[in-house]
Amino acid sequence: MKNQINHPVISVDEIVRPTRVEVDLKILSDNFKKVKKHADCKIMPILKANAYGHGLVRIAQLYEGLKADYLGVAVVEEGILLREMGIKIPILVLGGVWGNQIPLFLKHKLSITASSIDKLKQIDDTAEQMKTKAVVHLKIDTGMERIGVHYYNVDKFLEAAYKCKNIVVEGIYSHFANSEADDLSFTKIQLERFNEVLDFFNSRSIKPPLRHISNSGAILQLPEANLDMVRPGIILFGVYPSEKVKRKVDVKPALSWKSLVVYFKVIKAGNAVGYGLTYKPDHNIRAVTIPVGYGDGYLRSMSHKAKVLLNGKPYPVVGNISMDQIVVNIENDSAYNGDEVILLGTNGNESITCEDLAQWAGTIPYEILTNINTRVPRIYLE
């Protein structure tokens, strides 16, 4: 086992903090192979937000070793870090780009999302000044209303892209707004709009660049959207994008979040627990303190709802979740300092899932994973 927090690799014995995340690389490899086989096309794993909490650099290294065709990140800093850590395969930055960032893309050989004619001109001019070629993927808005040229106003944009002398148009893409729903009517409309945009190339006898629109939900539910390449995100990490999505690929969670008991006490009836004094037991209870809190991404909104696993049994978190600590009511059971606590994962016959934490927090699994702070060490099970 090794640990990496986007920087140094240290041994497990050197980890001081008892709260940690464990990532099973074998499970991640299996998930990748299953998704790749199901999609039957090129694949671009999406590694936004520290690879959905799993650790950007180590997961990128894994997918490069598994022969991913591309990697997708959200911001240029993520792409630069991967280049500095030796990642060689193509990387697309999916977010919008400021003009003063363009030299960074070119210096580190990152593919740029071009989302307007003005952006194309900035990219072209910068590439000319730097005596190089810029690689771009053209972003089409088919109904998300974030960035990209509207599908109904796209011809001038595409024509401008192919007139730029210092730009290589490598891809064209859009993004689904609702592909994880049970009603796919709008998703199909978006796909129709994107295909209409792609008629531009046929009508001008231009070979189309890489076409991609399919995310995790669409990979599972709309195979006709796979086109040349797919962009799986959360599904690669063993979490489905919603409860309603069809589970046509059998993926498994690769991440466990664990800690240790650091204190044991008896709390007398009527004594309040934690900030705000929001919990008072009506009888004497045994309780343990765990060194994790909302500063780690264990969301405060889970207060009075969350449970943890200790010695194979679920126990409730009581009182408000603090920045760095939680208190767990174990009633009359026994526990000792150093006992392992499962915050997310399996212990014996009991499990706490990402969906459980999301329900307790009133949010979605994406937010649970991406909120696990980088101060929590990542340990990789090789």
Asked if 297 and 374 sit in the same domain, the reply is yes
- Within a domain: 151: yes
User: Are residues 225 and 82 located together in one domain of the fold?
Assistant: yes
pTM of the model: 0.92
Tell me the pLDDT tens digit for each residue of 71-90: 999 999 999 999 999 999 99
Of 76, 90, 170, 168, which is closest to residue 123 (Cα–Cα)? 168
Domain count, the chain: 2
> Is 273 part of a structural domain of the chain?
yes
Does residue 319 sit in the same domain as residue 202? no
Regarding whether 93 and 135 lie in a shared domain, the answer is yes
* Residues written for the chain: 382
110-160, pLDDT tens digit by residue?
Answer: 999 999 999 999 999 999 999 999 999 999 999 999 999 999 999 999 999
230 and 372 housed in the same domain = no
Identity of the residue numbered 31: N
First-last CA distance in the chain? 6
- Residues 165, 212, single domain; the answer is yes
Alpha-carbon Rg of the chain, whole angstroms? 24
Q: Are 324 and 275 in contact (CB under 8 A)?
A: no
Strand-pairing partners, residue 309, are 314, 342
Distance CA 147, CA 159 (A): 19
Average pLDDT over residues 248-257: 97
3-state secondary structure of 267: strand
Question: Residue 17's pLDDT is what?
Answer: 87
Indicate whether 178 belongs to any domain.
Answer: yes
Contact 222, 191 (CB under 8 A): yes
**Exposed, middle or buried: residue 225 (CB in 10 Å: 0-12, 13-18, 19+)?**
buried
Distance CA 21, CA 253 (A): 13
Q: Residues 208, 168: one domain?
A: yes
Catalytic site positions = 48, 275
Q: In the prediction, which pLDDT does 14 show? A: 58
Asked whether residue 242 is assigned to any structural domain, the reply reads no
Q: Are residues 172 and 84 in the same domain?
A: yes
Share of the chain above pLDDT 70, in %: 96
CA neighbours closer than 13 Å in the CB half-sphere of residue 251: 32
Whether 228 and 344 map to the same domain: the answer is no
Instruction: Give the contacts of 97 (CB within 8 A, at least 6 positions apart).
Output: 76, 105, 112, 113, 119, 123
User: H-helix or E-strand containing 102?
Assistant: helix 102-107
Q: Is residue 195 part of a domain?
A: yes
227 and 301 fall within a common domain: no
Among 151, 155, 153, 132, CA closest to 140 = 151
Confidence (pLDDT) at 99: 81
CATH of the domain at 88: 3.20.20.10
Residue 3 has pLDDT above 60, yes or no: no
**Same domain for 61 and 112?**
yes
261-313 per-position pLDDT tens digit: 999 999 999 999 999 999 999 999 999 999 999 999 999 999 999 999 999 99
Residues 274 and 327 sit within 8 Å (Cβ to Cβ): yes
Confidence category of residue 382, pLDDT binned at 50, 70, 90: confident
The answer to whether residue 18 is domain-embedded is no
Give the pLDDT score at 9: 44
- CATH number at 357 reads 2.40.37.10
Domain of 368? 255-381
Asked whether residue 300 is assigned to any structural domain, the reply reads yes
Asked if the structure places residue 172 within a domain, the reply is yes
Contact (Cβ atoms closer than 8 angstroms) between residue 27 and residue 58: no
233 and 263 housed in the same domain: no
